[in-house]
Each structure stands twice: as C-alpha cells, then as structure tokens.
Chains A and B, each alone.
Chain A
C-alpha cells in the first residue's frame, strides 16, 4: 500500500542554514545538463545547466518569452528535450510521459475539472493510482484541511471564488505527494492583496509538506518573497542563479540588476581599482565614482557600469562632509508612494539618478521639493561596479 509522507503538525525548526547548493556533496533532485529546446528555428532554451535540490523553493524568473515556461513544461513532460538531459534523482527523464513522472503541476489557469466537485478534483490523481477507497478519502480530507477548504468539498469549481480555486489546484497537485511540484504563475490571476497573503500560505505549505517547489513567475517581488533561490532567465539562458538577497545585492550583470528592483545604472570606463573599490570615469571633467569592484577586476579603461540602488543614495541640501561619492543635481520629479518617496534628480551631465527616502516622519515627508538643487551621495560599498 502506498504511504504518504507524514506531515508534521508543528513546523519543525529548520536547520540554521538551508543551503544544499553550497554543499558540493549534495545530490540534486533535478539536474539539467546542457538542455536545449528548439521549436522549429526558434531556440526557447539554450544549453542550460541547473541543479535544484530537495526541499528547495526554486523560482524561475524572467520576462515573457524567456523560456521559463518551456523549462517547466519539460519537467512536467509536456515538451521533449531537443538536446541534453534532465535527470530526476539521477535518472534521465527522456521519454517518460507526464503520467509516469513523480512530478505534478499547478496550472496558471488552475485547470480544475469543471464537471467534478472540489473533493473529486483532489481525489482524481489518487484514483488513477488505484488506491483503496479509505486511503483516498483520508488523503483528500488531509489536503482539504491543509488548504482550509473542508467546508467547500462538495462545491463545483464554478461555485467557488478565484482564491479558493487556486487552493483547490494546489491541493490537487499536492495530493499525490509528488517529489517535485511545479507552479506556473500560480498567483497571476489573484488581486494584489490576496496574492501577498497567498505567497505566505504557499511558503507555509511548502515547509509543512517538505515538497520541492519550482515556481515560474514574471513577478520579481513574488520570486523574492517565496523562493530559497531565484534563477533569472533571459532568451533561454540563465543570467544568474542565487538566493534572493544575493541577487538583489550582488547582481551578476546589468541585466539582472535592472530586472530586479529599481536601480541607477551609470556607464563609464574603469579608472582604477584600490582594494575592494573600483572607480569609473563616467563623464568629462567629473570626479570618478566608486563602487565594489568586480572579481576578477577588469583592466583599466575597460567598459564598466556603476549600479546603485536608489535606497542607498542619500539626498541632502548641503554636500555631506566626508562622503566618498557626491554629485550635484536638480530635483525634476518626485514619486510619492506613501511609505517612500523617490526623487528623480537631473545632473549637469544629463544623467538622471533616483534617490529614495523612507517617510518615517509624517510632517517631514517632503524635505525637498521640485526644482531644488540637492546633493546625492553614497559610500564606496553602496554601489556595484559591473563589467560591460
């Protein structure tokens, strides 16, 4: 008889650091080896290598058409790999049809069976395994409890709300206790507030069940919130695979830096590298600006980009004493978002830099105003000098 893994009722305290990717001994659950997928002359996925570990919540992030959905459909078995291999626990998945893979998917449209009740939707996969009736019933009840839908078990999909449908789809995909759960833009159809709540629910469920999740999304906030690691994709290639904080603080290149969050990019040529700090020439007659140097450091004179997040740029009326980098400009625009304000400052060189302040004080929300001349400053470790 099939046994489902027991679900701990209380969340056991996770090991201090969950980072199997940092351990060279760790065996990946999923491994992509030089995977390429072509549709006719179009290459959707291009020679991709990637390892995903057990219990990970892995996010594939990228604009539409970057190949993230194709990657997921290859994992589910709906698309065949053109070149390379996908290994699940070391076994090649080539030629294994979707119904024979220990992988389940939660579809973007939820794809609930409209003619079946919530209960029967969740039981559907278990019934295909010819499990005894009481085992199925117990598992379905457990799943209903997990997603808090016990009350709605007898309803048909058109009789429940969008958020409830999303939870039914999740319960149905989890019912068979797959080794890997794929989530295709799972929260795309929900409104913003519900989406944020559901993100935390998803994380809770992932922790509770210990299932490995791979989520596809174009929403960077969502990826950053839920994932243990994020892969940023562009044109069928991986730009960077790392933890959310590393992706944000240490983007591998200007594309990732620009794709994740807001950032100021200043192009220039490398002037010099002193220890950790690299300085770049960015405009005629201006003092070179500094940021963390890339490793290995490129030669002086090579093209580099200074990337600095708006929240790391200070705005002030007077030049702050001892600031490592300071530039002068005039406020052109202010985006007031309630909790923060973003100032768009035009420098004499024509560059537009953004600086953010947190509005902690209700009555001094706007210290600076339109047309005001201000100083922007940051420390040498605030910015990042990127190659190219």
Chain B
C-alpha cells in the first residue's frame, strides 16, 4: 500500500476535524456532570437519566418515530409507483412535465413547501396534528424515493419485465414477482432516505405540526432557544449513535452482498 504524503495526511485530518469536531464536543459534554454546558465538571451519565424521566421529550420522540415510519412507508409506495410510471409508462401526454414536476420539490425551499402545505390544510379545514405532519413528510420525501427508484429502473433490462409478461404474468404480477424483487434494494434505500428526512425535518414539521403533536426536532429547537441544556446534548448523542449504527449496518449489508456475489461468480467460473 502507498504511504500517505504529508499533504494528504494534513488534508485528511483537517477534513475530518471539520466534520466531526463539533459532534465530538457535543458527545463529550453530554457526559458532563455540570449543569453548565461549557464548564467541564467531571464524568457523569446524569443527563441520560434526566432525559428518560422527561415526559415531553419522550412524547416528542414517540411522535417523531411514528411520523417517520408512516410517512416514509407511504412515500415509498407512492414514489415507487411514480418512478415506475415515469420510467416504464412509455410516452404519454405530459410525461416530461410530470417528471419535471416530481423532481421540483427537491429544489423547492422548505419554507415554501411548508407554508403552502399549511395553507392547504387550513383551506380544507384539517386539524393540525400527526396526520398533517405525516401528509407533509410523505409529500416532500416521495420525490426522493422516486429519484432513487427510477435510477434503478432505468438501469434494468426492460426485457426482463417483458419476459414475465410473455410467460403469462399480468402487468401487476410482473411488477410484484419480477420488478419489485429486483429493485428491492433501491426501494429499501428510498425508504431509509425518507425515514431519515422525516426524522430530522424541522422546517416543514413546524409549519404543519399542531399543539397536539410536536416532533423531536421542534422540541429540541424550541428548548435550545431557552438555552442549551445538557439533556439536549445527551439526546443528540443518542440520535448520533442511532444514525451511526444504521449507516454502518447498511454499508456492511451492501458490502457483504457484493462480496457474496463476487464469490458466487468465481465459483461459477471455476465450476463451469
């Protein structure tokens, strides 16, 4: 293996420091015994204990989780359907317009998305609460799912679907038995993306949340305005841990499946 040059080593260190130093400080201070966030007074897990007893935080966490699961599932179904229609639907009237429109929310400022949704909910007289947050999150995350899924659909051989039809499948059976299993990794990735987006969304949620339902990001943001408490540090550390575990698991799974496939291919070549 090649040795790192001084230049590479320096840029690597600076880069990682830039990315991770703030988080590191946050994690370290979450174990601070002192009530003052910036003064180190020895190691303690006291704030984690306080957190567990904080009903408001736990409620918000529960709401966030439910919203994320429901909205990402809905977004995955809708986004996959949209991607399939756009990629496989052939040429239909207004196809270019539709595919442009489905990607527009990607670049739309969140404030505008949030505001327009709020106006819609008021117009149709829908009480703001979990339902409205779920609807809002589904709306903005389905275009992410659709981007991920359609990139997979574009790269997959159309004749595989035709073969399914040819062998007696109805179009829906062909999708369920052939297309879906093949694009499953992209669908799962889309779900994870939608889940993460929903989990950490602040702007759209604060437009569409009502007094009956507050998500964790809103809760954190509003309590930070009153001053950073060590409890927030503890909560954030837990979130970082969850995300890190998720990301590492996902990358390990994909690495393993690639390795297995390569091994299979080698075996096939040797056995042929």
Chain A: residues with CB nearer than 8 A to chain B?
76-78, 97-99, 103-105, 107-109, 111-115, 124-125, 128-129, 155-156, 158-161, 164, 172-173, 176
Contacts and interface: CB of A to CB of B under 8 A. Distances in A.
Contact of A156 (B159, B178, B264): B264
A113 B163 contact: yes
B167 to A, nearest CB: 3
B155 to A, nearest CB: 13
B159 A164 contact: no
B162 A158 contact: no
B177 to A, nearest CB: 8
B171 to A, nearest CB: 8
B166 interface: yes
Interface string B144-177: 0000000000000101101111111110010001
Contacts of B272: 160-161, 164
Contacts of A103: 166
Contact of B160 (A98, A111, A160, A173): A111
Contact of A99 (B168, B181, B182, B265): B168
A111 B264 contact: no
A107 B158 CA distance: 11
20 contacts: A97-B165, A98-B162, A99-B165, A99-B169, A104-B166, A104-B167, A107-B159, A107-B162, A111-B159, A115-B181, A115-B182, A124-B164, A125-B168, A128-B169, A156-B264, A158-B261, A158-B268, A159-B264, A161-B269, A161-B272
A278 to B, nearest CB: 49
A42 B121 CA distance: 50
A124 B164 CA distance: 8
Given A109-B157, A115-B181, A125-B168, A159 B163 contact: no
A78 B182 CA distance: 22
Contacts of B162: 76, 78, 98, 105, 107, 111
B1 interface: no
In terms of DSSP, what is the predominant structure of the interface of chain A?
A: loop
B267 interface: yes
Interface size class of B (residues with CB under 8 A): 20 to 34
A158 B169 contact: no
In terms of DSSP, what is the predominant structure of the interface of chain B?
A: helix
* Most chain A CB inside 10 Å of its own CB: which residue of B173, B182, B267, B272: B272
A113 B166 contact: no
A161 B157 CA distance: 19
A111 B268 contact: no
A172 B167 contact: yes
Nearest to A98: B165
B268 A108 contact: no
A160 B268 contact: yes
A-B pairs with lowest CB-CB distance, top 10: A128-B168, A125-B167, A111-B163, A159-B268, A111-B159, A98-B165, A107-B159, A115-B181, A161-B272, A111-B160
A159 B173 contact: no
B173 A128 contact: yes
Given A113-B163, A160-B272, A99 B264 contact: no
* Most chain A CB inside 10 Å of its own CB: which residue of B165, B167, B182, B269: B167
A124 B167 contact: yes
A99 B268 CA distance: 33
A321 B163 CA distance: 63
Interface string B234-272: 000000000000000000000000000100110111001
